[in-house]
């Protein structure tokens, strides 16, 4: 055993995820960041499923090719949730926003996709993709 190796070894701490990596990392606006990431993943999967090039996808969505590259690489700061909704509509998807009274002690924000594109998950089916609890909202 090399000298000092026991000093370099740290005990790993395992912490259960909240279900939102952005919240777990302590980033601001974590619910919005997760929603944008999930929407972008849906968009990228639809583009891939259709076999579109980045140039063709950019034309369809009304943005430039570097914008598609940003979407694919997860650089989402320039895309609002509303803009991502418009991209989904341009890709032939219905977007529904539902507001209802909470039945639990805490309210939540959820992203639900009726069908995940085939390349993203294989077979389709209803799937809760993200859930974020907010106390007192």
pLDDT for the residue 14: 86
Residues of the chain with pLDDT under 70: 1-10, 115-137
d(CA 63, CA 48) in angstroms, rounded, equals: 17
Map out the domains of the chain as residue ranges.
21-134
Both tokens assigned to 137: 């909202």
For residues 12-23, one letter each, b for 16 or more C-beta atoms within 10 angstroms of the residue's C-beta and e for the rest, the string is eeeeeeeebebb
pLDDT for the residue 41: 95
Both tokens assigned to 102: 């909470």
Q: Which CATH number fits domain 21-134: 3.30.930.10, 1.10.260.40, 1.20.1250.20, 1.10.10.10?
A: 1.10.260.40
pLDDT digits (tens, 9 = 90+) for 69-97: 999 999 999 999 999 999 999 999 999 88
Both tokens assigned to 76: 């989402």
pLDDT for the residue 38: 93
Q: In sequence order, what are the residues at sequence separation of 6 or more whose Cβ sits closer than 8 angstroms to the Cβ of residue 41?
A: 120
Q: What is the pTM of this model?
A: 0.70
- Hey, is 109 helix, strand or coil? strand
């Amino acid at each position: 055993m090399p000298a000092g190796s026991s000093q370099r070894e740290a005990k790993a701490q395992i912490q259960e995820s909240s279900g939102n990596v952005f919240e777990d990392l302590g980033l601001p606006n974590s619910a919005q960041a997760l929603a944008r990431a999930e929407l972008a993943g849906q968009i990228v999967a639809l583009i891939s499923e259709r076999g579109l090039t980045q140039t063709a996808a950019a034309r369809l969505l009304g943005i430039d090719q570097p914008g598609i590259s940003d979407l694919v690489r997860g650089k989402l700061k320039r895309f609002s949730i509303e803009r991502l909704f418009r991209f989904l509509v341009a890709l032939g998807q219905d977007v529904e926003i539902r507001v209802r009274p909470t039945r639990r002690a805490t309210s939540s924000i959820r992203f639900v996709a009726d069908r995940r594109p085939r390349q993203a998950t294989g077979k389709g089916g209803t799937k809760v993709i993200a859930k974020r609890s907010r106390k007192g909202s």
